[in-house]
Amino acid sequence: MRNSRIETYDPGYQSPFYPWMQIFGLITSFLLIIYMGWGPALFSIALIVFAIVWYWYYARRHVKREGAIYHWFALLGQKQHIGLENELLFILKEKGLRDGDPFDEMVVQAQITRLIDERISFKDLVSRVSADLSSKIEGGNHQNLVNEFLQVTNIDPALVIPRVSILYGKSENLQRPMLHIVTSKTGVEKPVEKGEISSEDNIRVFFFLLNRTDNPKLQLRILSRLIDIVEREQFVDEICSIANERELKEYMLHNDRYITLELAENSTTDHLINKMLKEIRFPQDVLVAMVQRKNQILTPRGDTLLLEGDIVTIIGEPKGISALFDKYIRIEKDKTK
């Protein structure tokens, strides 16, 4: 698997002295079997002979050989096994994000574009989003990003979701992952090719994901998390019906990793009013992600002054979020009973 260089293979550990450690383990296993005596040695030999005979006279004719070996030979110009890419991406989705992956921060800082009545071609949309992203990257190149987003890769078949398109690219000058979300009321016609058949899919939700060139595994974990989100029931209708940027980002975040507080007098949050963020003591594992003041989204800083009516979104680890929920939400509910 490691020699195949499969993009979607993301082991959670490093194998020291690879491959010599594995070779050493293989050789010593044979030596230990011999050391145990004739009984275990003859049993092991008989098991090996049985496996060879079973494969040669039965399995060889019924099983199609495929897997990581194709990717190893792909380095020499042979074919790859696309199904294995998709299977590994599914495993990544089941494993989820690693601690420290900046998914929540990326969503909070994401640019949101809502196409209500505007009609735009797919290439023009890619060009517009690429221009926005490249303007935020030092030394960013607009055309390079366009080419990245339009490039077809081996894992694209795993990203085929009705009315949703996930486009991803890489940039050497990027410091942290970036995301641009586009929702459309009428949809954008995206060209697709399936074998020799060319057609167009009507896409209502686009995700443009950009990550560093030297960290493809992080990009794959973020991709797997996006797939997990878009597989929610009624995802397209729900996200396209959201008219508020803050609510859309909250919809994208983990439920147990964020909390929203509305500052109001005579409530559990009234002591936060007219205070700067640096004066408020929150749990160490949480972060104030954004502040909505009427129809304006504010980027929180230490000297940001909270006012009555502000809606504060906080993200962080489940333990810290749970503590805030108990302090502000649960107590408020108990008071109203």
User: What is the chain's percent helix, strand, coil content, to nearest 5?
Assistant: 45, 20, 35
pLDDT value, residue 38: 84
Q: How much of the chain exceeds pLDDT 90, in percent?
A: 32
Span 319-334, pLDDT tens digits? 999 899 888 876 555 5
- Residue 77 pLDDT more than 50? no
In angstroms, the CA 290 to CA 80 distance is 44
Span 197-222, pLDDT tens digits? 678 889 999 999 999 888 877 888 88
- Residue 126 pLDDT more than 70? yes
Residue 323, Ramachandran bin (φ over 0: left; ψ between -120 and 50: alpha; else beta): alpha
For the residues 74-100, what does the mean pLDDT come to? 56
Q: Are 231 and 162 in contact (CB under 8 A)?
A: no
Q: Would you say the CATH fold of 254-336 matches that of 98-251? A: no
pLDDT value, residue 79: 47
The DSSP letter of residue 326 is: I
Average pLDDT over all residues of the chain:
81
Strands 197-212 and 164-171 turn out to be parallel
Determine which helix (DSSP H) or strand (DSSP E) holds 62, and give its type and residue range: helix 60-62
The DSSP letter of residue 304 is: P
For 120, 150, 217, the CA distances from 144, given in Å and listed in that order, are 21, 10, 21
Span 298-312, pLDDT tens digits? 989 999 999 999 999
Ranges of each domain in the chain: 20-80, 98-251, 254-336
pLDDT value, residue 22: 83
pLDDT value, residue 171: 87
Q: How much of the chain exceeds pLDDT 70, in percent?
A: 79
The CATH homologous superfamily for domain 98-251 is Mannitol-specific EII; Chain A (3.40.930.10)
Q: Within a 13 Å sphere around the CA of 26, how many CA atoms are in the beta-carbon half?
A: 6
Q: What is the identity of the amino acid at 144?
A: N
pLDDT value, residue 156: 61
- Residue 69 pLDDT more than 50? no
CATH topology for 254-336?
Answer: Alpha-Beta Plaits (3.30.70)
For the residues 145-158, what does the mean pLDDT come to? 75
Least trusted range by pLDDT, from 128-137, 183-192, 248-257:
248-257
40 pLDDT band, cuts 50/70/90, is confident
For 200, 245, 296, the CA distances from 305, given in Å and listed in that order, are 49, 21, 14
- Residue 250 pLDDT more than 50? yes
Q: Are 295 and 305 in contact (CB under 8 A)?
A: no
